[in-house]
């Protein structure tokens, strides 16, 4: 019966109904009805008529909620750590390992389900006949891992680490675009012998390698002499030519190329975004990175894939230039004032400052335009950035580097509240190990 039963193993079973009561001070109690199947709760998302979605989630199983992570503290080497990682009760994520002998490894930490049946686990599955299902969890030997790669280098940058059968085991949890990982990889491989200073330099790399094909597109195909002359874009083209090689805070050209790319992709995917929004979704809900299909569509320039609101592909790209330029000039007053630093300041704010703005100058850390962006090693994108820069070799902690925004104290009146922030802003290395003790705080009963 619709809404009360479901099919499992070819048989009809009743949904289990429970009521969650939420008590609210001074207001009526809210009752939330939860329907449960053997796989998990029925979700409120829209579904085709007569159907519903059920959430199958690792966190609902005992295998996904345990304290196995604590045993990592006593792992003697990377082999032991890789064994312990499989089945640890944490959300699945990249795990990078190194031990004092110089061995390194990558794996996924967390319980990973063993999926059976179903060609595409990124889509809703029909589990009613039992052919598609989870059959327990992957063992340590089954969980993908890389131990002691031949070139002695590993990197992740939240990107996809494996392909083929290993990728089928993991699925797509929303990998980052591979540009940042590639730049880190190339930085690692460019050094025959790695040390702390060299690795710290890679963390600070803000060269705009990812945007160079968009810059080339602008200069070679979009900013034609006639288009530039007709729209007064000589200053625009000059900035793109001279200052788009890196995400430096004082550069205009980088922001111009970046804004052009975002506007071009927005225009290109506007029909799809509109369709999704009409169904209560958004483009970001799709498990894809717009860059890859977007760039392929622009390069192919097929008339049948051009959004209906444009007469030609050159018009779409030229409109992206004009619209993104207008937005920046409206925001900053002039093109020369539209620097990347003006658009990308630090925002290290105390939780209370938003509620009490008058205290923000006392509570918040100093702000300035920052180098870096997404898709490059030095991540800093409109308030989102590196939470710390750490380089340390096991057994050689005295040579390590640790730089954090803010300071060691959480009290605004402490001299250590902002102690390390200036070094973080200036990209200066600080020692990983603590120095001599200058103060002691004793807690007495």
Residue with tokens 């902002």: 418
CA dist list (Å): 246 to 127, 251, 431: 50, 8, 28
pLDDT at position 2: 65
pLDDT at position 3: 79
Per-residue pLDDT of the chain (445 residues; tens, 9 = 90+): 567 899 998 899 999 999 999 999 999 999 999 999 999 999 987 777 778 899 999 999 988 999 999 999 999 999 999 999 999 999 999 999 999 999 999 999 999 999 988 777 778 889 999 889 999 999 999 999 999 999 999 999 999 999 998 998 888 878 888 999 999 999 999 999 999 999 999 999 999 999 999 999 999 999 999 999 999 999 999 999 999 999 999 999 999 999 999 999 999 999 999 999 998 888 888 877 899 999 999 999 999 999 999 999 999 999 999 999 999 999 999 999 999 999 999 988 898 998 999 989 889 998 899 999 999 999 999 878 898 999 999 899 999 999 999 988 888 988 899 989 999 999 999 999 999 998 888 999 9
Q: Report domain 62-175's class.
A: alpha beta
CB atoms within 10 A of CB 378: 22
pLDDT at position 25: 93
**How many helices (H) and strands (E) would you count in the chain?**
14, 13
Four-CA torsion 352, 358, 364, 368, nearest 10 degrees: 140
Q: Are 107 and 84 in contact (CB under 8 A)?
A: no
Check residue 78 and give left, alpha or beta (phi > 0: left; psi -120 to 50: alpha).
alpha
Q: Which of 178, 125, 129, 131 is nearest to 155 (CA)?
A: 178
Rounded Cα distance between 276 and 272, Å, is: 6
pLDDT at position 57: 94
Q: Do domains 5-55 and 62-175 have the same CATH topology?
A: no
Rounded Cα distance between 155 and 191, Å, is: 14
Size of the chain, expressed as the number of residues it contains:
445
Q: Output the pTM of the full model.
A: 0.90
pLDDT at position 171: 86
Radius of gyration, CA atoms only, the chain: 26
pLDDT at position 118: 72
| CATH tag, 5-55 | 2.30.120.10
Q: Are 173 and 92 in contact (CB under 8 A)?
A: yes
pLDDT at position 1: 53
CA dist list (Å): 59 to 43, 44, 175, 299, 313: 16, 19, 20, 43, 47
Ordered by start, the domain boundaries in the chain are 5-55, 62-175, 212-343
DSSP category for residue 399: G
pLDDT at position 174: 81
**Phi, psi angle pair for 67, to nearest 5°:** -105, 25
3-state secondary structure 274-338: HHHHHCCCCHHHCCCCCHHHHHHHHHHCCHHHCCCCCCCHHHHHHHHHHHHHHHHHHHHCCCCCC
């Amino acid at each position: 019966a619709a809404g009360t039963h479901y099919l499992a193993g070819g048989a009809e079973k009743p949904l289990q109904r429970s009521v969650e009561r939420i008590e609210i001070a001074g207001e009526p109690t809210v009752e939330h009805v939860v329907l449960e199947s053997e796989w998990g709760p029925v979700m409120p998302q829209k579904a085709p008529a007569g159907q519903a979605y059920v959430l199958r989630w690792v966190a609902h199983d005992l295998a996904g909620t345990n304290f196995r992570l604590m045993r990592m503290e006593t792992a003697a080497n990377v082999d032991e750590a890789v064994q312990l990682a499989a089945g640890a009760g944490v959300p699945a994520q990249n795990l990078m390992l190194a031990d004092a002998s110089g061995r390194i490894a990558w794996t996924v930490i967390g319980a990973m389900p063993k999926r059976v049946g179903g060609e595409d686990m990124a889509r809703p599955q029909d589990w009613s006949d039992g052919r598609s299902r989870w059959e327990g969890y992957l063992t340590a030997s089954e969980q993908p891992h890389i131990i002691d790669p031949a070139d002695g280098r590993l990197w992740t940058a939240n990107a996809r680490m494996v392909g083929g059968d290993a990728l089928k085991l993991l699925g797509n949890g929303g990998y980052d675009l591979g540009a940042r990982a590639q730049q880190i990889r190339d930085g690692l491989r460019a050094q025959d012998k790695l040390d702390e200073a060299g690795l710290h330099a890679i963390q600070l790399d803000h060269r705009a390698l990812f945007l160079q094909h968009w810059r080339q597109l602008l200069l070679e195909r979009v900013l034609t002499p006639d288009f530039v002359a007709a729209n007064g874009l000589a200053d625009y083209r000059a900035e793109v030519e001279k200052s788009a090689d890196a995400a430096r805070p004082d550069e205009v050209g980088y922001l111009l190329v970046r804004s052009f790319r975002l506007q071009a992709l927005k225009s290109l995917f506007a029909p799809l975004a509109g369709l999704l929004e009409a169904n209560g979704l958004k483009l970001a809900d799709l498990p894809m990175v717009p860059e890859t299909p977007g760039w392929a569509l622009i390069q192919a320039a097929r008339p049948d894939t051009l959004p209906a609101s444009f007469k030609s592909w050159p018009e779409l790209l030229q409109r992206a230039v004009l619209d993104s330029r207008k937005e920046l000039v409206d925001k900053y007053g002039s093109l020369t004032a539209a620097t990347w630093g003006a658009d990308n300041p630090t925002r290290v704010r105390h939780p209370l400052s938003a509620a009490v703005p008058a205290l923000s100058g006392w509570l918040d850390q100093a702000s300035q335009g920052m180098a870096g962006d997404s898709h490059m090693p030095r991540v800093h994108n409109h308030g989102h950035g590196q939470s710390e820069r750490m380089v340390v070799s096991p057994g050689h902690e005295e040579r390590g580097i640790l730089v954090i925004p803010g300071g060691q104290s959480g009290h605004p009146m402490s001299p250590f509240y902002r102690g390390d922030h200036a070094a973080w802003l200036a990209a200066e290395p600080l020692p990983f190990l603590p120095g001599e003790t200058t103060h002691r705080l004793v807690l007495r009963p």
